[in-house]
Amino acid sequence: MPDIRTPWRAVAAAFALNGILLGSWAARIPAVMQSYGLSEARFGLLLLVMGLGALISFPLAGRAADRFGAVRLTHGIGWAYLLSLVLIGMAPGVPALALAVFFFGMCHGSMDVTMNSWATEVEKHMGRSVMSSFHAMWSLGAGIGAAAGAGATALGLSVPVHFLLAALGFGAVFQWFAYIPWTSNVRPHDPEAPAFALPRGALLLVGLMTLASGSGEGSVADWSAVFLAVDLGVTEARAALGFTVFSVVMVVMRLLVDRLVIRAGAVQVARISGVSATLGLLLVITSTGLAQALVGFALMGVGYAAIVPLAFSRAARDPVVPPGQAIAAVATLGYSALLMSPPIIGFVAELTSLRIAFLFLAALAVLIFALAGVLGRE
């Protein structure tokens, strides 16, 4: 019987696990808030702690991946990530919960860097574009985690029991698929190298593309339902359709992007992505009904799906900065945008309106089109 564990499946398992654990956490947020008596404001601070953990981990994970090998780090961090979910469920009070969430954020962020570094090695080994398919597995994993969380809630499982069972079950699957004979490239440690390699030149432009895409993704997640409910006056149930449509289209597109890159090239795919995201935002901004807005969110999903995978692939090929540090630098810009763009959109919307605030995202979408050529440079 042939071994079903292949390099692609091994990396896909890492991406899926990363998404599954984040989806598991997201599904039980209401229960966590109720259990610890957290208000929206205090829970917002908890999310900030998680985000800071991820941001701090990016440069550390990038240098470690270059020094010790991405595959070793991905395996080790994967198990730490599983443990962090269990620790969240077992936290006896809010201070312990904050520490557990910080650790959870560090594991999530550092694994994001190392698994993308490993993915670029497998992509090079396979000799064709496969990065987007890995990111599709992340999105699929997030959906599986959220669905499992909903099932656990329906069964009446407590958060500690749910998180322990999830860690054991998904950890076993990760163990089976992700552990394959693979030797990552390593680089000697340079004690004089900076802890964080600031992106420069072409890599800075790649990072700006990631920032533009991250801003759009984060804002759709946090503001699409508000826009549909407040500006268009749809029901709460229908307001959730905006992000649902966006997410489904993102998964489908990420399964198709690699084929498109093989046929048309990364630059052309990125240019089309920028146009699609811009048109989608303009449709949302000018919408007067739910149907037009949903088409707009779908086009935004088409537009943003390819950018992060393409950016990470290009970062790993940078001729100046080592792959781990390059991916960490690009990831930092993208994740910072995910954290900061929703508050900026809210601030602008408070002064004006959400429609005007979304113009900021449209300008960034145009930037994706304008900078697409950098993906073809080495």
Which segments of the chain does DSSP mark as H helices, in order? 7-27, 29-36, 40-68, 70-90, 94-126, 131-154, 159-178, 202-226, 236-239, 241-264, 266-285, 290-305, 307-316, 323-351, 354-371
Q: Give the CA dihedral 229, 233, 237, 238, nearest 10 degrees.
A: -100
Q: Which position has the higher pLDDT, 68 or 158?
A: 158
Rounded to whole angstroms, how far apart are CA atoms 309 and 134?
Answer: 8
Same domain, 148 and 108: yes
| pLDDT reported for residue 283 | 97
Averaged pLDDT of the chain: 85
Give the separation between CA 228 and CA 209, rounded to whole angstroms: 27
Same domain, 21 and 150: yes
Residues 226 and 315 in one domain: yes
Per-residue pLDDT, 182: 63
Residues 310, 10: Cα–Cα separation, whole Å: 20
**148-207 pLDDT, tens digit each:** 888 888 898 999 999 999 999 999 988 888 777 666 566 555 555 555 556 667 888 998
pLDDT of residue 2: 47
Tell me if 267 sits within 8 A of 344, measured CB to CB: no
Reply yes or no on whether the pLDDT at 1 is more than 60.
no
Average pLDDT over residues 258-266: 90
Q: How many domains does the chain fold into?
A: 2
153 & 22 share domain:
yes
Range of the domain at 355: 202-376
Return the number of other C-beta atoms located less than 10 Å from residue 16's C-beta.
26
pLDDT for the residue 79: 94
Residue 26 has pLDDT above 80, yes or no: no
Residue 190: what pLDDT? 55
Rounded percentage of the chain residues whose pLDDT exceeds 90: 35
| Residue 197 placed within a domain | no
3-state secondary structure of 2: coil
Query: What digits encode the pLDDT tens for the residues 195-232?
Result: 555 666 788 899 899 999 988 887 887 688 778 888 89
Confidence of residue 34 (pLDDT cuts 50, 70, 90): confident
Residue-wise pLDDT for 306-332, tens only, equals 998 899 888 878 777 777 778 888 888
What span, in angstroms and rounded, lies between the C-alpha atoms of 328 and 58?
5
Q: How far is CA 322 from the centre of its chain?
A: 22
Nearest 5°: the CA angle 5, 119, 186 is 105
Same domain, 210 and 130: no
Which amino acid type is present at position 307? I
According to the model, what pLDDT value does residue 31 have? 84
Same domain, 210 and 327: yes
Same domain (yes/no): 260, 352: yes
The answer to the question of residue 142 being in a domain is yes
35 and 147, same domain (yes or no)? yes
Asked if the structure places residue 156 within a domain, the reply is yes
Mean pLDDT of 104-133: 86
| 185 domain-assigned | no
Residues 157 and 267 in one domain: no
Average pLDDT over residues 131-139: 85
276 and 162 inside one domain = no
CATH code: domain of residue 330: 1.20.1250.20
- Based on the fold, state whether residues 102 and 240 are members of the same structural domain: no
Give residue 345's pLDDT band: very low, low, confident or very high (50, 70, 90). confident
Helix 307-316 vs helix 202-226: crossing angle, to nearest 10? 160
- On the question of pLDDT at 356 being above 70, the answer is yes
Residue 184 belongs to some domain of the structure: no
pLDDT tens, position by position, 269-304: 999 999 999 999 999 999 999 999 999 999 999 999
Structural domain contains residue 154: yes
Would 192 be classed as within a structural domain?
Answer: no
Q: Give me the pLDDT at residue 236, please.
A: 66
**Alpha-carbon span 357 to 215, nearest angstrom:** 12
Q: What is the mean pLDDT of residues 99-110?
A: 93
pLDDT given at position 144: 84
Asked whether residue 191 is domain-assigned, the answer is no
CA 273 from chain centre, in angstroms, equals 17
Do both 275 and 162 map to the same domain?
A: no
